[in-house]
Amino acid sequence: MVEFFNGNRITLLKSGAEYFPQLEAEIDAARHEIHLETYIFKADATGRAIANALVRAARREVAVYVLVDGFGSQDLDPALIRRMEAAGVNFLVYRPNISPWSLRHARLRRLHRKIAVMDARVAFVGGINVLDDVDESGRTPPRFDYAVRVEGPMLSKIHPVVKWLWKLVNTTQLRPRLPSGVRLSLSMELRGRQRAAFVTRDNLGHRRDIEQAYLKAIGEARTEILIANAYFFPGQSFRWALVEAAARGVRVILLLQGRVEYVLQHYASRALYGTFLDAGIEIHEYHRSFLHAKVAVIDRHWATVGSSNIDPYSLLLAREANVVIEDEGFAAQLRESLLAAMSEGAAQVKRERWLNQPWPVRVFTWLCYGLARLLTGLFAYGRAREFT
């Protein structure tokens, strides 16, 4: 059951150019406690700037807790970690032991969500990792991604979630128990007029919450479904929901990755294009830069922004977090941004051209699809058949 809170102020942040200045400013404004969770933390210019802000906070006796993923952040410079810890930053790695020889699905149960909470007063949730979002050459525009800034009663849901995970990881790694620090009161003060919910995915009690939130909104859609997703490899239930929506006259638009970042994921997802195109679903591939967004707008009043892709990794294995917003103003802003991106940097995949692809491309696409299905069966559990 998704729990909605009224009275929030949700601010849309587009890519790192809007996100990182606000994140750093709120770290500098924190007076009691900071929690930061991220999949990737890099020691590049952006990572060092955020690390410096965390160091400044710790030195003024703010309790700072940083949790990074053991796979996504495996290349983080140890010197930067030592510098943060020397200043008093509490630093943990989620599932740090990675064996390249293990086929156990547990090795893919990663911390993929990106959340920051300051003083239980303001939070950031989205898909943006702590790293430079432009390529080293400077020739490619920044990654296309989003986050939201959250103020209001929904903090009463976000703050306990991040505190609980920190305590869980700290305990399971047999670390010394840290002082609880300042006991923060969770204010239910109204900060705006937006209705929103914080939805997570884990491997315990919330395995399908994000997926179910999508499916409910898609099932109730009457006019338009607009989904932008970096890695789009949905299971049967999700595919059927989109096809059924298109069959009842809903305009369904998918904005997907056009550049090849990971070969297997890219071509495996393209094997599903024929089904969608036959159903009348529009597919637009974004080429201007790397698409990293995990967002959607439905019927111009329901929207979501978060870390969860629509693929087996996000929906079956990883810890994810999305914010769902039921607000026409926010939905209009996100929709306008997506349509602009489609107009400026995407190309529509036409059914006729898709059907006339060279046969080597078709064969390679289906080989990737078959391998992706095999790997899903090996690494996933429970609902792996959904992704066949």
State pLDDT tens for residues 347-379. Answer: 999 988 777 777 777 777 767 767 767 666 655
What's residue 377's pLDDT? 63
Residue 219 lies in a domain: yes
Asked whether residue 325 carries a pLDDT value surpassing 80, the answer given is yes
Residue 20 lies in a domain: yes
Structure confidence at residue 13 as a pLDDT band (50, 70, 90): very high
What's residue 296's pLDDT? 98
Asked whether residue 124 carries a pLDDT value surpassing 70, the answer given is yes
Q: What is the pLDDT of residues 164-211, one digit of tens each?
A: 999 999 998 878 776 665 677 777 788 999 999 999 999 888 989 999
| pLDDT (average), residues 295-323 | 94
Residue 177 lies in a domain: no
Q: What is the pLDDT of residues 223-249, one digit of tens each?
A: 999 999 999 989 889 999 999 999 999
- Active-site residue 292, yes or no? yes
Marked catalytic residue, from 14, 35, 114, 157: 114
Show Cβ contacts of residue 201 under 8 Å, excluding neighbours closer than 6 positions.
207, 208, 209, 210, 211, 308, 314, 315, 318, 319, 320, 321
pTM of the model: 0.92
Average pLDDT, rounded, for the chain = 89
Question: For a pLDDT cut of 90, what percent of the chain falls above it?
Answer: 69
For residues 161 and 199, membership in a common domain is answered with no
- Active-site residue 266, yes or no? no
Number of domains into which the chain is organized: 2
Asked whether residue 102 carries a pLDDT value surpassing 70, the answer given is no
Q: What is the pLDDT of residues 15-29, one digit of tens each?
A: 999 999 999 999 999
Task: Quote the domain boundaries for residue 123.
Answer: 10-172
Q: What is the dihedral of CA 160, 162, 163, 169, to 10 degrees?
A: 140
Asked whether residue 104 carries a pLDDT value surpassing 60, the answer given is no
First to last CA, the chain: 27
What's residue 380's pLDDT? 59
Marked catalytic residue, from 32, 206, 299, 301: 299
For residues 45 and 161, membership in a common domain is answered with yes
- Active-site residue 157, yes or no? no
For residues 135 and 251, membership in a common domain is answered with no
Let me know: does 342 contact 363? Beta carbons within 8 Å. Answer: no
For residues 236 and 316, membership in a common domain is answered with yes
For residues 164 and 212, membership in a common domain is answered with no
Show Cβ contacts of residue 58 under 8 Å, excluding neighbours closer than 6 positions.
64, 84, 87, 88, 89
Residue 181 lies in a domain: no
What's residue 99's pLDDT? 58
**CATH number of the domain residue 85 falls in:** 3.30.870.10
Marked catalytic residue, from 159, 294, 311, 327: 294
Last residue of a domain, one of 172, 205, 233: 172
- Active-site residue 119, yes or no? yes
What's residue 179's pLDDT? 63
- Active-site residue 75, yes or no? no
What's residue 204's pLDDT? 85
Residue 248 lies in a domain: yes
Marked catalytic residue, from 112, 159, 266, 284: 112
Residue 149 lies in a domain: yes
| 100 against 247, higher pLDDT | 247
Q: What is the pLDDT of residues 37-52, one digit of tens each?
A: 999 999 999 999 999 9
| pLDDT (average), residues 320-349 | 97
Marked catalytic residue, from 28, 32, 77, 119: 119
Last residue of a domain, one of 172, 207, 237: 172
Marked catalytic residue, from 284, 292, 311, 327: 292
